[in-house]
Every structure is written in structure tokens, then in C-alpha cells.
Chain A
């Protein structure tokens, strides 16, 4: 079965510093990977996805993610964090064996302090 894991419940970063939110996956076949962000009491906003091609994927709001097949990882990164980046981040993989539904990680709460 397809799955993703986000090993950190919370990540704390100072404003201006680089940030990384970790995600590892387990899939059979080629992975289709996604990152979403959720602000309090809001739905999820799509940030970026990896389907095929370049391992470094650029997304919204200055975020990028690096697909690493050997390490089965898809970590989310940003060179310089903003206080407004504070939110809940979800990694997800598409389970194309089950109608294409998304399998979500447990989420990582990012806190960026001034």
C-alpha cells in the first residue's frame, strides 16, 4: 500500500533562515507526490507536485521540493522563511491503485518566529 510519513510533528525556524519540512514515501511503482499547506480553519492549498522530470520542483510562495528516489524522500524547502509561512503542511502521495485518491501524511506544523 502507498504511504507517506512526516517524521516531525513540529518544525521551528527563525525568520530569514532556510526551512525544511521532511517527507518520506513508500509506493509500488512511480510516485506522484504533492505538498499542501493549511492555514487555521481553512482548507488545503496546493503548493507543488512531482510527477516526473526534474527532481527539484518549484512551487507557490517560493517553496520547492526535492525528489530523491534513492532515499524515497520528498522534502519541502524554502531558502528564507517568513512569519506568514507558519501553518500546517501536508505531504501526500496518489494511490493510483485505488481510484487515484490521495494518501496524506500526518502533517507538520511549521512555526516561524521573528
Chain B
């Protein structure tokens, strides 16, 4: 099956610093990638939809200046948490959708990144 990787898997940083998380589709091309945030024992909250070569679409309530998304190629999207604060601590998961088509294709998820802001 299709594989999506995320790096790093775990990061601890000080308050005020910025953290970059990479999401890669390893064996397929993805025109669209999604970034989610998940709190313990809860469902996934979609933060933004990232389309290759264009600006990301953010969900309501998500600060685009704080969560910078770049989708530079068909296999790589990055999420940068700028000026991180303890309330940004969470599990961040990306997913990638195959090029096959919007209506029937499947989203494949990365393993997630655990961010802890001290």
C-alpha cells in the first residue's frame, strides 16, 4: 500500500521557537495533503488542506500565520509551527491523497509527530 512518512516523530522545543514537520508520500504522487491535529483519545481535527504549488486552505479558527504550510512538490508538504507555545503541544498527523482523482481515491496517513512545547 501507499506509504506516508513524517519527520520528526517526536520533538520537544522551548516556548517561542519554531518547529518544522515534514510529510512525504514515498511511493506515490500526492496533489493534495492534509494536516490534522489530534488531542488524546479524540478524533482528528483538520487544520488545513495543502495543494501542490498553491496556497493552503485553512479551516476556520486555524491561524495561518502560526501554522505555515508549504507544499513544494508532489511528494512533500511541510508544517511549521511558528513561535510555539505550550498550548500548541499536540499530535500532528498528515495525510496524502493519491493523484487518481478527487472522488474515489484514498487518503493515506503518516505516523504522526508528537510536539511538546516547554
Question: B61-69, B71-79, B101-109: which one contacts chain A?
Answer: B101-109
Assembly CA distance A20 to B29 (angstroms): 34
Kindly identify, within residues 43 to 100 of chain A, every residue whose CB is under 8 Å from any CB belonging to chain B.
43-46, 49, 51, 88, 90, 94, 96, 99-100
Q: How large is the interface on A (under 10, 10 to 19, 20 to 34, 35 or more residues)?
A: 20 to 34
Give, as a whole number of angstroms, the nearest-CB distance from A99 to chain B.
6
- Of B4, B6, B43, B103, most buried by chain A (CB within 10 Å of CB) is B43
Contacts of B85 in A (CB 8 A): none
Q: Is the CB of B109 within 8 A of A43?
A: yes
Q: Is the CB of A100 within 8 A of B109?
A: no
Partner of B41, one of A32, A100, A109: A109
Q: Is the CB of A104 within 8 A of B44?
A: yes
Q: Is the CB of A42 within 8 A of B43?
A: no
Give, as a whole number of angstroms, the nearest-CB distance from A1 to chain B.
13
Q: Is the CB of B114 within 8 A of A41?
A: yes
Q: Is the CB of B42 within 8 A of A106?
A: yes
Give, as a whole number of angstroms, the nearest-CB distance from B93 to chain A.
5
A101 at the interface (CB under 8 A from B): yes
Give, as a whole number of angstroms, the nearest-CB distance from B101 to chain A.
9
- Of A90, A94, A100, A109, most buried by chain B (CB within 10 Å of CB) is A100
Assembly CA distance A36 to B111 (angstroms): 13
Partner of A101, one of B49, B110, B111, B112: B49
